[in-house]
Amino acid sequence: MASIAFRNHSSNHLLFSFRFISAFYHSFSSSNAPPSLPLVSLHRSMATFTRTKPHLNVGTIGHVDHGKTTLTAAITKVLADEGKAKAIAFEEIDKAPEEKKRGITIATAHVEYETAKRHYAHVDCPGHADYVKNMITGAAQMDGGILVVSAPDGPMPQTKEHILLARQVGVPSLVCFLNKVDAVDDPELLELVEMELRELLNFYKFPGDEIPIVRGSALSALQGTNEELGKKAILKLMDAVDEYITDPVRQLDKPFLMPVEDVFSIQGRGTVVTGRVEQGTIKVGEEVEVLGLTQGGPLKTTVTGVEMFKKILDHGQAGDNVGLLLRGLKRDDVQRGMVVTKPGALKTYKKFEAEIYVLSKDEGGRHTAFFSNYMPQFYLRTADVTGKVQLPENVKMVMPGDNVTATFELMSAVPLETGKVESHMWYRMEITNYPHLSANQMPWQNGNFLLWQNVKAIKIRNRTYRLLLNFE
């Protein structure tokens, strides 16, 4: 768990920070299931997924054009040669027309592979500044990250931003890949880049002196040239991932909870929702509720299929990227941003009170004050809802570095619990109370959703600022 932040678009500063684990708003959408999704077809003849190894979620982060997608493709190719993956070409990862046109990653993409130690779901995150919210969507799902840095360029603006966001969304560990080493002739330059990278990691509270930094060339690995910097470097990187990133503790004993990342239809089968299971377990035949975005309250349904990466699961559990086939629901009944949960596990509220600490400019936060009636956009896991900040009568404005207890009123009701959050850095938020407002008293709106049970995530945005709040 960690903190997350609030961005000022004009000054490129982060504003607030609170603790959380979750997935965030994913703006890149399609009516069809993109190839990045873990579930595509739900055919009865599909193979069964057997849990013989721990499952972890990892991913690539870093500045645009530093080689994240190339590295992702290279990992699948090298491990495919070892019989532990299916090789995925670069073009299959960045497959959307806009991605092909611009030559950059826009949406997060999912691939799978195995090492001798683990089974991995790998999220390839966009590096471009315009798509940082999609990077957060991917990073918030990670149990560990691979930071990709171009050796000729060194750490760049999005390198720094991604390290900070990784810290704030709760990525517990990072392993670094110094890419394009074959384009640097001066060994001293490589040492300087590595030194700068370690200092940067230390600055953002990662153990920079301990984090493994592997030098190599993802393109060489992909093309099968320069084995030392190519294939061997990739294998060394995966050894570092296996050893340095620890197995997470999954919340298997809590009620099932999964935010919906995408929805699509399987002809003749029904509606499929995909996402990362936040907590609990799910099996075929179990009843669930789909909450949010409807005026009539929860949609009750039964799970008739559970799959991950085109393989049938006997059960899905916390940490899995799954697709759920839901009985009796139409494609238009469910939208990104809704949540699938155990019946009765969540209640919805509209108004809550919280104690917040506002990050200062030196902490990567705000450099200006904010006032009552500020109405940012809250991004709650995979959806968003407009809300209003109401300060106490004796507080006229809140400055960077201040602690304040404020009331937050959302336009739509969301699941919410009283609880305290303390981050491992400087921040804390405590939900102290909320009115007895139920879902049927609130106008549900398209694109709105969720504060979560136990560990919650919010992101706030308007024309000037983007804020992420998280609490439990």
Rounded CA separation 171/163 (Å)? 9
- The tokens describing 242, both together, are 């296996």
Rg of the chain (C-alpha set): 22
128 is annotated as an active-site residue: yes
Amino acid identity, residue 190?
L
Specify the DSSP class assigned to residue 48.
Answer: B
C-alpha 310, offset from chain centre: 21
Q: Dihedral through CA 331, CA 334, CA 337, CA 340, nearest 10?
A: -120
Rounded CA separation 179/68 (Å)? 9
Neighbouring-strand partners of residue 341: 257, 289
Q: What's the burial of 282, exposed, middle or buried (CB within 10 Å: 0-12/13-18/19+)?
A: buried
Rounded CA separation 293/277 (Å)? 20
Q: Which one of the listed residues 84, 95, 117, 128 is annotated catalytic?
A: 128
Rounded CA separation 92/329 (Å)? 30
Amino acid identity, residue 318?
A
137 is annotated as an active-site residue: no
Write b or e for each residue in 41-57: b if 16 or more Cβ atoms lie within 10 A of its Cβ, otherwise e: ebeeeeeebeeeeebbb
Q: Which one of the listed residues 60, 69, 76, 382 is annotated catalytic?
A: 69
C-alpha 375, offset from chain centre: 24
Q: Which one of the listed residues 55, 60, 65, 231 is annotated catalytic?
A: 65
Measure the N-to-C terminal CA separation of the chain; round to a whole number of Å: 10
69 is annotated as an active-site residue: yes
List all residues 6 or more positions away from 97 whose beta carbon is below 8 Å from its beta carbon: none
Q: Is 292 left (phi over 0), alpha (psi -120 to 50) or beta?
A: left
Rounded CA separation 128/204 (Å)? 20
65 is annotated as an active-site residue: yes
Taking every pair of C-alpha atoms in the chain, what is the biggest distance, in angstroms? 67
Q: Which one of the listed residues 68, 122, 133, 350 is annotated catalytic?
A: 68
Q: Would you please indicate which residues are annotated as catalytic (active-site) residues?
A: 65, 68-69, 128
